[in-house]
């Protein structure tokens, strides 16, 4: 269950709208079903009272929207969860928007529910009720099913890296701590496989890719004016995914382009219609960076020098590095 | 109507596969998808596949032709070959309807031979939906999930599969598997139909109507102010387009292999900013325009050209897959509401 | 089942002549490798030209249907395909498919009418086909007026043909203009829309417009001022196209596909379309 | 083309190796190997780049796509970069990239970074001999190939 | 589309012996864009070059591929040939089929096959080549030297000697730097002042040299040949051009309790002061922190005694903007602070001093007029302990010291020990060392004289602790060779403090976009081959700002830097390398990634207004490459996530075309 309520957020927004701090609010709008939540702009309390929603399915990271939002007149209020604030800082580091045009209200987060997992519980979801550590799914046909809330969390929330906000103008509720999570466990599991097993694993996962670009378009690190994959002059332009090479190429290059900049927000895996665990590619880079060059969390502070634009004289050699990334060996 | 008990369903698949390539939905860790049947593949229990069945006729990419160049000379290599007959098993009513929508495009003159080739060699075994999901709204478009179209309609109950041929092709296939099936009076299927229809009543989108849309509504909806809010948080990705069974925009591109040029066709999306971009300019500059195009096409432009047929089959894929949960239902409700007020 | 060619599969065309018209427009003559015209067409129709590996693009066929020997394309350099075409030499093969789109109604609405053609810059290219067609069947049509303008004298397309042939035809009036004064130019100077108003045409004719959007916009206003009705004015549209057969979705505007239902539109028809062209 | 066919018919499999060499050290080192007539297999094809840091990981993927069996990047020794720091960035980029390729199950022996100075003609030849042999043992690159590019 | 000519060289039998050149020529003739292909005995010969020139004319070639020896050999030759025949020299590509083919492969079949592939790669590249023209920028013929120590002085003198104007910016009231504080110099023992002050006078009298003393550089813009520098001239409250340096004010000033920094605080000066007798410029300066007039408005003594009328209490900081073609950094060094070295009791006892303080104690112009007296009580010390490597050569994990060797300490300690024993033979001198490092002309001889002739006790070992007890300093140390602990009752302990770059260097480096190492020493463009140049073009390094140095080394580096500056200022125009990076502004995200990896500071970001495709205007932050500064490494091209950055001559598309051709 989320620690803050919809009412608290609406009151806060109404206050900031009222005193002229902001002229619009970027929030979540309710839809047809419990999980059908859309990011939307609100300009009045009345609109928020009618449609604003906050709950277990408000997973979208709003940071990227600020790139476009801040180009408009006025100041926008945005609610950021701890993990979103990392993306926020990273975008600021890369000069992607004007900090002055955003008012950040940091909100605590107890993990967002995974729609896919909820849907696996019952067919025909009428509604979802959150009772703290249990979640009850009301089915259209099969009655109620109650499950552990923790089991309904996506990987990114199960292995939450931080409950601490690294950027905000104002905080609602208590700030949390950076968490020593098990987020690299899955990566390690893969590292321990044989190359053949790893190849088979990724071949199976990536072959499902339909190149819808959702992972790219949602990624807060992918704010390029023009993506290399859309640019015929880049030499890597492609839009088809029928060929297994192209899927691999797309995902490898995308992961490399965001390496050192990816804050591990997990949006790529959330939006993938084919449930490809794309975050495991990014986490591999993060894990390697931490192991080769010392711990680095993108977005932890504004202006930090990313590991790929930095070096030391005694960095490991590539061969050594590849060897080291299998620390079991 | 023919019947086979579920514990012998593998025999059915084997019998069909002996004659044709057989495709059916199977489970993967990314949801259900169509795969070619082979011993050991199990029919998925999922309501529907993540990707639609349009892939069979309009694949994500396909080679159109090859070119060889030498000096100033060009040679065109026709790489087409006639497809063998194949069977798609377990297609849901919505997806079956989507084939009609696609036919309107690809089989309109001049016909697309690549599409036609596969379409003519296919046999569709449709399946009634046992448990429609909250995202389903096929009834909005007059589709009956309890009685899908197709060469053969199938009903799956707790213990058996019932098959009813709707076309000659279907009847011929049923004939071929006569030895492993038994005749059935159709009562079980009727009972199943009734259950489905009862379930449909409970669906949240059951009452959604497309009455307010149609070919003559361009002026009414094109300039609607609601588009702004609807498209505001659209990421411009192609998820809705690519999982949609009726979206058929494509791009034609050349790939230089180093030994020659392959000209291929691949899915494209009108939601992409590059879609209409040309060197001279860009007619749809904003995501609003692109977003509007997609839904106007489905609800207005397509019906205008196709006797009122909507280019949406209510499968609900975009409802569950859109990264920001924006979808055609919200568009229909939002735009439709505006009109309601006026009435 | 493949005895018939797929509409997407082109034929080979060979470039037999390249004429440099203006600094950025060249006219290419194209025939099949055995020296024939690739296919018959109607005035205003288009064809897809491509160089494998570079790309495919739609161009209006500049030559008249009455020319049964070859086709011509006047092409302005403005993107990667056109840039490549401009770098071609005679003898180069390309691929060609078509014809696409609806032609000008030269055999119905135009018949017996006075015609006014207004073009700016490379906008003359699609009109050249219909002008020459009408000149060929001269007695079917009334008086023909041609207003054509460009940035400078050097930017006038088909200048020699206009001067030596069109201007000499009976019942054909050619009005040329350039944007700014230029040495060696004693003709009219000024923008096309103004020139049209200056010339002050009677409304007893059908007008056909083609040129840059800004020219179209102002000329249209000028024609309305002169009393023309939307149903009397035609134009031809340019949009990104891929398939040419109304399937790929790119040139879809409202319920129309420019490649199939256009590119020739009458302005009252355009008014029914959303403003996305 | 004809030559290639003859080879394919008559000889055993030879790998295709793309070597990116920085202009100042490794390319000069390759020249020195030539001056000293130090033989290495003709499988190695060198592409000259100003600095190893010019090598974009996409070039490596591109080479594999187009049929390369191994890709090696040679640059100045760390600390000796003509541009002071280019090879340090190369080292980081390639460490991460190679580790990623390995993570995807692509044989790690197909990629290598080697520092070869202008004076190390012998090292250049020895490196290429060793790399060719290693890649030859692995056989054809199947895991990062693009079938469309295979004739 | 290009019209390419291919020219295959036999190089006698060097190439033709292993490669079937006719087959190469024939095969490449079929490549896309190739309109002419031939082969010849020696392409680089006059006759060979004529073949190229004639073919360019006859076939209207736009690009050339020469299959020959290494481009490192003849690329320039063939570029000139092409240029002579009227095509851009950068439309030439070389396929190296000698060093990298015929000489390393024995087999004709595989050699020929490889030669063809290398040729195809070159053809593929030329197909995408574009003519390149090197940019030209004018050169401002004036140099700036930052720092007026011996390094800056020498550099300025050498540059001025060549006839170019030079400005020296010195933050202290006088030039002279650390050397002016020294007593004698090793290994010759000349008096530092005797050799330095004439040079200072030379500087003052040289009409090509301007001295901005008591000044700081506050901003540097521009690039090689065209730097715009702002210099802050701090208010000294004395009119520099009026003051005669008579010193009357410095004697009458009632504020007598100002620690004298020139003597490292070991005595006092007045609030108005001239740092030392030979100061250049010899002008008084008022210390605003102590001057009663400036602080309270009550006093004005100096103004009254100044007959020249030079005192100006209302003076303000002034800013001078000046253009320079080259900048020399000579910011020098400082001994590190001893605050963290409590074990040596530096802060507890006045009689624990640093070597530089020792220099002042033995200097005739110092606080004791050159008599070696204990700072605490003014008595002669009889036992002196010198501790080497205080803060030098520390563990990387140690937080208080430096990892590097400060280089000069061994020699000056030997000097101190020797001088002490020479003047005061009754003094016991101990030197504790880790190693004694004396590489340098006459250095080791000097050290040995200290040990052998002067009887200095050199003990290998470290001092563990110094504790003041009464008037004595108890020194606990280990003798590593004898393997025992020593306890020495010393009167004076001298610490050879490590030296570090001046604190002003780091902000200066930022202004200059010059790179620094982790110790804040400036990085040289190449450690071996370009030791006096910074990677930032037009910025040169002189003296200890680049690393610890003794005087002779500093002077020679100063001269070398001057030579480089002169070489630059001699040119009227700088011709750049045309193979430089450039950014596609429409694609640039403004993320600053490229800026961070550029070793030359060639990339800057500007906010620029753009007309967007939707006909709106938007101010966007975009990268711009200064072509005069970019050296063309291409690091930024890979760092750039959006692919906005590309390298001319080695564009991504070109390299990929080569890859494609090779893998075909």
* Residue boundaries of the structural domains of chain B: 2-59+72-202, 218-342
Domains, chain C, in order of start with CATH, read 11-100 (2.40.30.10), 114-236 (3.40.50.80)
Cα(C234)–Cα(C244) distance, integer angstroms: 21
- pLDDT of D3 higher than 70: no
Residue A212 to residue B320, Cβ atoms within 8 A: no
Residue A62: burial class (beta carbons within 10 Å; 0-12, 13-18, 19+): buried
Cα(E18)–Cα(E16) distance, integer angstroms: 5
Q: What is E4-128's CATH topology?
A: Rossmann fold (3.40.50)
Domain of residue A128: give its range.
Answer: 117-146
Residue C259: burial class (beta carbons within 10 Å; 0-12, 13-18, 19+): buried
Cα(B159)–Cα(B141) distance, integer angstroms: 31
Helix (H, G, I), strand (E, B) or coil at A298: coil
Residue E73 is predicted with a pLDDT of 87
Residues 6+ apart with CB under 8 A from E655: D47, D49, D54, D56, D59, E125
Residue E589 to residue A308, Cβ atoms within 8 A: no
Give a yes or no: residue A250 inside a domain: yes
- Secondary structure letter of residue E502 according to DSSP: -
Residue D2 sits at φ, ψ, to 5 deg, of -65, -40
Distance set, CA E327 to CA A294, B320, E332, E535, E630 (Å): 36, 64, 15, 13, 17
| Cis omega (within 30 of 0) for bond into D69 | no
Residues of E in contact with C86 (CB under 8 A): none
Whether C and D touch, i.e. at least 3 CB pairs below 8 A, reads as: no
Residue B216 sits at φ, ψ, to 5 deg, of -100, 15
Distance set, CA A232 to CA B255, E610, E660 (Å): 12, 22, 16
Mutation for testing the A interface, residue in B134, B198, B226, B245 having most A CBs under 10 Å: B134
Q: Are residues A108 and A123 in the same domain?
A: no
Enumerate residues 97 to 126 of chain E having a beta carbon within 8 A of any beta carbon in chain D: 98-101, 103-107, 109-114, 116-118, 121
Q: Give the percent of chain E with pLDDT over 70.
A: 100
Residue D6 is predicted with a pLDDT of 39
Q: Which residue in chain E is spatially nearest to B72 when comparing CA positions?
A: E32
Q: Are C69 and C37 in contact (CB under 8 A)?
A: yes
Question: Which residues make beta-bridge pairs with C29?
Answer: C17, C72
Cα(B105)–Cα(B311) distance, integer angstroms: 11
Residue B139, min C-alpha distance to chain D (Å): 43
Q: Which residue in chain D is spatially nearest to E529 when comparing CA positions?
A: D82
Higher-scoring residue by pLDDT: A198, E398: A198
Question: What angle, 0 to 180 degrees and rounded to 10, lies between the N-to-C axes of helices A244-258 and D86-103?
Answer: 130
Q: What is the pLDDT of residues D48-68, one digit of tens each?
A: 999 999 999 999 999 999 999
Mean pLDDT of chain B: 90
Residue B280 is predicted with a pLDDT of 66
Residue B282 to residue E664, Cβ atoms within 8 A: no
- pLDDT of A270 higher than 80: yes
Q: What is the pLDDT of residues B224-263, one digit of tens each?
A: 899 999 999 999 999 999 999 999 999 998 988 888 999 9
Question: Which residues make beta-bridge pairs with E40?
Answer: E9
Q: Are residues A167 and A41 in the same domain?
A: yes
Mutation for testing the E interface, residue in D48, D61, D64, D87 having most E CBs under 10 Å: D48
Cα(E306)–Cα(A227) distance, integer angstroms: 72
Residue E407, min C-alpha distance to chain A (Å): 22
Query: Distance between terminal CA atoms of chain E?
Result: 21
Helix (H, G, I), strand (E, B) or coil at A321: helix
Tokens of E271: 């609030």
Mean pLDDT of chain E: 93
Q: How many helices (H) and strands (E) does chain B have?
A: 12, 12
Residue A140, min C-alpha distance to chain D (Å): 42
Q: Are residues A316 and A289 in the same domain?
A: yes
Residue A212 to residue B135, Cβ atoms within 8 A: no
Q: Are residues A313 and A203 in the same domain?
A: yes
Residues 6+ apart with CB under 8 A from A34: A55, A56, A57, A125, A127, A128
- pLDDT of A329 higher than 50: no
pLDDT band for position A131 (cuts 50, 70, 90):
confident
Residue E496 is predicted with a pLDDT of 96
Residues of C in contact with E1 (CB under 8 A): 84, 87-89
Question: Which residues make beta-bridge pairs with E495?
Answer: E354, E387
The enclosing H or E element of B219 equals: helix B218-222
Residue C79, min C-alpha distance to chain E (Å): 14
DSSP-H helix ranges across E339-402: 355-362
Interface chains of chain D (3 or more CB pairs under 8 Å): A, B, E
Mean pLDDT of chain C: 88
Q: What is the pLDDT of residues A6-39, one digit of tens each?
A: 999 999 999 999 999 999 999 999 988 888 999 9
Q: How many domains does chain A have?
A: 3
Residues of E in contact with C80 (CB under 8 A): none
Report how far Cα A36 is from the mean position of its chain's Cα atoms: 18
Residue B235 to residue A217, Cβ atoms within 8 A: yes
Residues 6+ apart with CB under 8 A from B312: B141, B210, B246, B298, B299, B328
Closest among E63, E78, E90, E52 to E2, alpha carbons compared: E63
Pairing between β-strand C264-266 and β-strand C233-236 as defined by DSSP bridges: antiparallel
CA count, 13 A, side-chain hemisphere, E264:
21
Q: What is the pLDDT of residues A174-187, one digit of tens each?
A: 888 888 888 999 99
Give a yes or no: residue A154 inside a domain: no
- By the CB < 8 Å criterion, does E71 face chain D? yes
- By the CB < 8 Å criterion, does A275 face chain B? yes
| Cis omega (within 30 of 0) for bond into B273 | no
Residue E511 is predicted with a pLDDT of 86
Residues of D in contact with B254 (CB under 8 A): none
- pLDDT of A75 higher than 90: yes
Instruction: Encode burial over C181-215: b for 16+ CB neighbours within 10 A, e otherwise.
Output: eeeebeeeeebbbebbbebebeeebbbbbbbeeeb
Q: Which residue in chain B is spatially nearest to E662 when comparing CA positions?
A: B258
Q: What is the CATH number of domain E334-500?
A: 3.50.50.60
Cα(E554)–Cα(E577) distance, integer angstroms: 32
- Secondary structure letter of residue B262 according to DSSP: E
Q: Are residues A78 and A127 in the same domain?
A: no
Residues 6+ apart with CB under 8 A from A233: E643, E653
Q: What is the CATH number of domain E143-184+208-332+512-569?
A: 3.50.50.60
Q: Are residues A65 and A136 in the same domain?
A: no
Q: Are B251 and B265 in contact (CB under 8 A)?
A: yes
Pairing between β-strand A102-106 and β-strand A170-171 as defined by DSSP bridges: parallel
Residues of C in contact with B301 (CB under 8 A): 252, 254-255
Residues of D in contact with B258 (CB under 8 A): 66-67, 149
Cα(D151)–Cα(E139) distance, integer angstroms: 57
Instruction: Check for a shared fold between E143-184+208-332+512-569 and E334-500.
Output: yes
- pLDDT of B340 higher than 60: no
Residue E397 is predicted with a pLDDT of 67
Residue D10 is predicted with a pLDDT of 45
Q: What is the pLDDT of residues E210-238, one digit of tens each?
A: 999 999 999 998 888 989 999 999 999 99
Give a yes or no: residue A179 inside a domain: no
Angle at B40 between CA B36 and CA B41, to 5 degrees: 40
* Residue boundaries of the structural domains of chain E: 4-128, 143-184+208-332+512-569, 334-500, 581-648
For chain C, which ranges sit under pLDDT 50? none
- By the CB < 8 Å criterion, does D77 face chain A? no
- By the CB < 8 Å criterion, does E656 face chain A? yes
Question: Which residues make beta-bridge pairs with B153?
Answer: B126, B164
pLDDT band for position E356 (cuts 50, 70, 90):
very high
* Residue boundaries of the structural domains of chain D: 13-143
C-beta neighbour count of A230 within 10 angstroms: 17
- pLDDT of D2 higher than 50: no
The interface predicted TM-score (ipTM) is 0.91
Whether B and D touch, i.e. at least 3 CB pairs below 8 A, reads as: yes
Cα(E9)–Cα(E44) distance, integer angstroms: 8
Residue E238 is predicted with a pLDDT of 95
Q: Are D74 and D81 in contact (CB under 8 A)?
A: no
Residues 6+ apart with CB under 8 A from E117: D45, E661, E662, E664
Q: Are C27 and C73 in contact (CB under 8 A)?
A: yes
- pLDDT of E97 higher than 70: yes
Give a yes or no: residue A329 inside a domain: no
Q: Are B199 and A141 in contact (CB under 8 A)?
A: yes
The enclosing H or E element of E460 equals: strand E457-460
Query: If you classify domain E581-648 with CATH, what class do you get?
Result: alpha beta
Residues of D in contact with E664 (CB under 8 A): 66-67
Q: Which of D59, D89, D93 sits opposite E656 (nearest CB)?
A: D59
Residues of B in contact with A276 (CB under 8 A): 30
Helix (H, G, I), strand (E, B) or coil at A158: helix
Q: Which of D88, D96, D145 sits opposite A288 (nearest CB)?
A: D96
* Lowest-confidence pick of A121-135, D87-101, E52-66, E315-329: A121-135
Residues of D in contact with A197 (CB under 8 A): 105
Residue B171 is predicted with a pLDDT of 93
Residue B259 to residue D66, Cβ atoms within 8 A: no
DSSP-H helix ranges across E266-386: 292-296, 301-305, 355-362
Q: Which of A234, A305, A308 sits opposite E643 (nearest CB)?
A: A234
Pairing between β-strand E268-269 and β-strand E272-273 as defined by DSSP bridges: unpaired
Give a yes or no: residue A25 inside a domain: yes
Residues 6+ apart with CB under 8 A from B329: A32, B137, B205, B208, B319
- DSSP of A208-242, one letter per residue? T-----HHHHH-TT---SS-GGG-GGGS------S
Q: Which residue in chain A is spatially nearest to D149 when comparing CA positions?
A: A245
Can you tell me the mean pLDDT for E66-95? 94
Cα(E636)–Cα(E7) distance, integer angstroms: 34
Q: Are residues A30 and A132 in the same domain?
A: no
Query: Distance between terminal CA atoms of chain C?
Result: 37
- Secondary structure letter of residue E536 according to DSSP: S
Residue E1 is predicted with a pLDDT of 79
Report how far Cα C134 is from the mean position of its chain's Cα atoms: 14
Q: What is the CATH number of domain D13-143?
A: 3.40.50.960
Cα(A209)–Cα(A239) distance, integer angstroms: 11
Residue A278 sits at φ, ψ, to 5 deg, of -65, -30
CA count, 13 A, side-chain hemisphere, B216:
3
Residue D25, min C-alpha distance to chain B (Å): 31
pTM: 0.82
Give a yes or no: residue A177 inside a domain: no
Residues of B in contact with D148 (CB under 8 A): 255, 257, 262
Angle at E147 between CA E144 and CA E153, to 5 degrees: 80
Residue D105, min C-alpha distance to chain E (Å): 22
């Amino acid at each position: 269950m989320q620690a803050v309520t919809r009412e608290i957020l609406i009151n806060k927004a109404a206050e900031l709208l009222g005193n002229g701090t902001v002229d619009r609010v970027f929030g979540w709008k309710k839809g047809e079903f419990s999980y059908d939540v859309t990011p939307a702009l609100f300009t009045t309390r009345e609109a928020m009272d009618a449609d604003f929603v906050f709950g277990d399915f408000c997973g979208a990271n709003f940071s990227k929207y600020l790139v476009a939002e801040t180009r408009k007149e006025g100041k926008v209020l945005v609610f950021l969860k701890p993990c979103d604030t990392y993306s926020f800082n990273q975008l600021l580091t890369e000069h992607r928007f004007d900090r002055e045009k955003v008012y950040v209200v940091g909100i605590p987060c107890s993990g967002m529910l995974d729609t896919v997992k909820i849907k696996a519980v019952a067919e025909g979801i009428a509604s979802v009720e959150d009772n703290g550590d249990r979640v009850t799914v009301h089915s259209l046909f099969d009655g109620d099913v109650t499950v552990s809330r923790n089991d309904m969390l996506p990987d990114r929330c199960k292995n939450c890296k931080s409950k601490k906000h690294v950027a905000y103008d104002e905080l609602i509720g208590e700030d949390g701590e950076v968490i020593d999570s098990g987020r690299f466990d899955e990566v390690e599991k893969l590292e321990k496989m044989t190359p053949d097993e790893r190849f088979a694993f990724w071949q199976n996962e990536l072959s499902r890719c339909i190149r819808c670009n959702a992972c790219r378009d949602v990624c807060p690190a992918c704010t390029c004016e023009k993506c290399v994959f859309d640019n015929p002059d880049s030499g890597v332009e492609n839009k088809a995914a029928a060929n297994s090479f192209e899927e691999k190429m797309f995902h490898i290059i995308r992961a490399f382009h965001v390496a050192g900049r990816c804050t591990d927000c997990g949006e790529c895996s959330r939006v993938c219609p084919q449930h490809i665990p794309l975050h495991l590619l990014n986490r591999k880079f993060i894990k390697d960076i931490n192991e080769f060059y010392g711990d680095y969390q993108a977005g932890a502070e504004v202006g930090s020098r990313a590991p790929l634009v930095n070096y030391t004289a005694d960095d490991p050699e590539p061969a050594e590095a590849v060897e080291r990334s299998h620390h079991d060996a | 109507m023919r019947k086979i008990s579920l514990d012998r369903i593998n025999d059915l698949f084997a019998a069909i596969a002996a004659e044709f390539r057989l495709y059916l939905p199977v489970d993967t860790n990314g949801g259900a998808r169509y795969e070619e049947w082979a011993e050991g593949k199990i029919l998925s229990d999922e309501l529907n596949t993540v990707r639609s069945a349009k892939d069979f006729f309009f694949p994500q990419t396909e080679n159109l032709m090859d070119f060889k160049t030498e000096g100033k000379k060009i040679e065109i290599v026709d790489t087409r070959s006639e497809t063998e007959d194949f069977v798609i098993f377990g297609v849901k009513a919505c997806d079956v309807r989507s084939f009609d929508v696609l036919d309107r495009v690809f089989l309109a003159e001049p016909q697309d031979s690549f599409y036609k080739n596969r379409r003519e060699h296919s046999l569709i075994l449709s399946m009634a939906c046992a448990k429609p999901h909250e995202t389903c709204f096929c009834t909005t478009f007059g589709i009956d999930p309890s009685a899908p179209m197709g060469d053969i309609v199938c009903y799956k109950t707790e213990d058996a599969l019932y098959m009813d041929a709707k076309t000659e092709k279907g009847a011929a296939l049923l004939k071929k598997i006569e030895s492993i099936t038994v005749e059935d009076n159709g009562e079980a299927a009727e009972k199943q139909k009734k259950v489905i229809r009862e379930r449909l009543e409970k669906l949240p989108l059951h009452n959604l109507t497309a009455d307010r849309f149609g070919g003559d509504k361009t002026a009414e909806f094109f300039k609607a102010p609601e588009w702004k809010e609807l498209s505001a948080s659209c990421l411009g990705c192609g998820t809705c387009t690519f999982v949609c069974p009726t979206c058929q925009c494509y791009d034609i591109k050349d790939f230089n292999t180093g030994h020659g040029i392959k000209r291929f066709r691949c899915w494209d999306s009108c939601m992409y900013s590059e879609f209409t971009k040309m060197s001279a300019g860009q007619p749809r500059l904003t995501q609003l325009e692109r977003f509007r195009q997609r839904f106007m096409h489905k609800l207005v432009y397509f019906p205008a050209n196709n006797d009122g047929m909507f280019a949406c089959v209510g499968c609900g894929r975009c409802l569950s897959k859109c990264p920001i949960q924006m979808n055609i239902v919200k568009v229909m409700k939002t735009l439709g509401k505006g009109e309601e007020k006026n009435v | 089942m493949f005895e018939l060619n797929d509409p997407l599969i082109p034929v080979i065309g060979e470039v037999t002549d390249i004429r440099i018209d203006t600094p950025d427009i060249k006219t290419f003559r194209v025939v099949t490798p055995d020296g024939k015209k690739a296919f018959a067409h109607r005035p205003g129709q288009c064809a897809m030209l491509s160089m494998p590996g570079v790309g495919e693009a739609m161009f209006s066929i500049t030559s008249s249907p009455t020319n049964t020997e070859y086709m011509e394309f006047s092409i302005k350099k403005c993107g990667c395909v056109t840039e490549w075409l401009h770098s071609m030499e005679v003898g180069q093969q390309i691929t060609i498919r078509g014809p696409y789109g609806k032609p000008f109604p030269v055999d119905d609405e135009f018949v017996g009418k006075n015609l006014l053609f207004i073009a700016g810059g490379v906008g003359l290219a699609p009109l050249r086909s219909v002008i020459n067609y009408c000149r060929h069947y001269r007695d079917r049509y009334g008086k023909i007026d041609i207003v054509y303008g460009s940035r400078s004298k050097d930017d006038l397309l088909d200048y020699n043909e206009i001067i030596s042939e069109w201007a000499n035809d009976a019942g054909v009036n050619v009005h040329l203009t350039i944007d700014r004064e230029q040495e060696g130019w004693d003709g009219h100077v000024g923008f096309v829309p103004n020139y049209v108003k200056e010339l002050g045409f009677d409304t007893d004719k059908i007008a056909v417009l083609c040129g840059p959007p800004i020219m179209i916009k102002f000329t249209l206003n000028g024609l309305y001022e002169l009393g023309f009705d939307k149903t009397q004015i035609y134009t031809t549209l340019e949009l990104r196209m891929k398939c040419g057969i109304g399937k790929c979705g790119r040139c879809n505007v409202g319920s129309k596909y420019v490649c199939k239902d256009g590119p020739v539109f009458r302005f009252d028809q355009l008014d029914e379309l959303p403003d996305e062209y | 083309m004809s030559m290639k066919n003859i080879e394919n018919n008559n000889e055993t499999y030879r790998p295709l190796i793309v070597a990116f060499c920085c202009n100042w050290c490794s390319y000069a080192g390759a020249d020195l190997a030539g001056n000293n007539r130090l033989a290495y297999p003709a499988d190695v094809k060198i592409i000259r780049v100003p600095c190893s840091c010019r090598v974009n990981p996409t070039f490596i993927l591109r080479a594999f796509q187009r049929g390369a069996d191994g890709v090696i990047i040679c640059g100045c020794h760390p600390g000796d970069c003509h541009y002071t720091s280019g090879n340090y960035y190369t080292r980081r980029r390639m460490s991460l990239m190679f580790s990623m390729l390995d993570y995807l199950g692509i044989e790690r022996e197909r990629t290598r970074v080697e520092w070869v100075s202008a004076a190390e003609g012998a090292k250049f030849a020895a490196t290429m001999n060793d790399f060719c042999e290693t890649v030859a043992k692995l056989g054809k690159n199947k895991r990062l190939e693009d079938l469309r590019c295979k004739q | 589309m290009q019209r390419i000519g291919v020219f295959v060289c036999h190089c006698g039998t060097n190439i033709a012996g292993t490669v079937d050149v006719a087959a190469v020529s024939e095969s490449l003739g079929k490549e896309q864009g190739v309109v002419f292909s031939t082969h010849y005995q020696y392409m680089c010969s006059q006759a060979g070059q004529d073949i190229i020139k004639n073919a360019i004319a006859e076939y209207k070639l736009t690009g050339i591929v020469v299959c020959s020896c290494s481009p490192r050999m003849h690329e320039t030759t063939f570029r000139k040939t092409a240029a002579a025949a009227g095509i851009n020299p950068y439309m030439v590509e070389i396929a190296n089929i000698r060093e990298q083919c015929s000489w390393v492969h024995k087999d004709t079949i595989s050699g020929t096959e490889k030669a063809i592939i290398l040729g195809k790669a070159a053809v593929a590249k030329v197909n995408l080549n574009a003519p390149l023209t090197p940019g030209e920028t004018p050169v401002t013929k004036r140099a700036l030297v930052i720092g007026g120590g011996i390094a800056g002085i020498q550099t300025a003198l050498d540059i001025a000697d060549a006839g170019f104007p030079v400005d020296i910016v010195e933050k202290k009231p006088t030039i002279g730097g650390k050397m002016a504080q020294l007593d004698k110099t090793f290994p010759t023992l000349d008096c530092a002042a005797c050799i330095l002050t004439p040079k200072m006078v030379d500087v003052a009298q040289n009409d090509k040299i301007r001295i901005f003393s008591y000044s700081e550089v506050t901003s540097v813009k521009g690039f090689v040949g065209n730097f715009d520098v702002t210099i802050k001239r701090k208010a000294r409250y004395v009119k520099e051009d009026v003051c005669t340096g008579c010193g009357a004010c410095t004697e009458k000033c009632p504020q007598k309790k100002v620690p004298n920094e020139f003597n490292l605080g070991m005595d006092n000066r007045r609030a108005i002061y001239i740092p030392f007798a030979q100061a250049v410029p010899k002008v008084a300066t008022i210390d605003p922190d102590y001057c009663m007039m400036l602080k309270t408005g009550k006093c004005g003594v100096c103004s009254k005694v100044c007959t020249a009328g030079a005192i100006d209490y209302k003076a303000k900081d002034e800013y001078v903007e000046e253009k320079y073609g080259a900048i020399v950094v000579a910011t020098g060094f400082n001994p590190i602070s001893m605050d963290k070295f409590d074990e040596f009791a530096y802060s507890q006892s006045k009689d624990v001093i640093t070597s530089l303080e020792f220099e002042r104690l033995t200097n005739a112009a110092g606080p004791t007029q050159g008599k070696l007296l204990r700072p605490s009580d003014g008595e002669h010390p009889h036992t002196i302990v010198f501790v080497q490597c205080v803060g030098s050569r520390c563990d990387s994990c140690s937080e208080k010291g430096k990892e590097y060797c400060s280089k000069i300490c061994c020699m000056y300690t030997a000097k101190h020990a020797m001088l002490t024993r020479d003047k005061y033979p009754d003094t016991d001198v101990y030197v504790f060392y880790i190693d004694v490092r004396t590489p340098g002309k006459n250095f080791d001889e000097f050290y040995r004289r200290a040990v052998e002739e002067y009887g200095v006790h050199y003990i290998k070992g470290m001092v563990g602790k110094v504790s003041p007890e009464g008037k004595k300093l108890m020194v606990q140390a280990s003798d590593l060779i004898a393997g025992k602990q020593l306890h020495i009752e010393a009167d004076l302990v001298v610490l050879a403090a490590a030296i570090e770059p001046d604190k002003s260097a780091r902000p200066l480096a930022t202004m200059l976009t010059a790179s620094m190492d982790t110790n804040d020493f400036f990085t040289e463009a190449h450690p071996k081959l370009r030791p006096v140049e910074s990677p930032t073009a037009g910025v040169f390094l002189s003296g200890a700002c680049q690393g610890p140095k003794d005087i002779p080394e500093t002077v020679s580096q100063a001269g070398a830097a001057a030579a480089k500056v002169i070489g630059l200022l001699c040119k009227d125009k700088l011709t750049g390398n045309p193979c430089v990076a450039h950014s596609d502004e429409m694609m640039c995200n403004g993320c600053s990634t490229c800026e961070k990896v550029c070793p030359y500071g060639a990339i800057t970001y500007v906010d620029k207004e753009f007309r967007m495709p939707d006909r709106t205007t938007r101010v966007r932050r975009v990268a711009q490459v200064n072509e005069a500064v970019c050296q063309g490494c291409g690091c930024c091209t890979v760092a750039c996530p959006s692919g906005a950055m590309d390298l001319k001559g080695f564009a991504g598309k070109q390299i990929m075309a080569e890859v494609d051709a090779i893998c075909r």
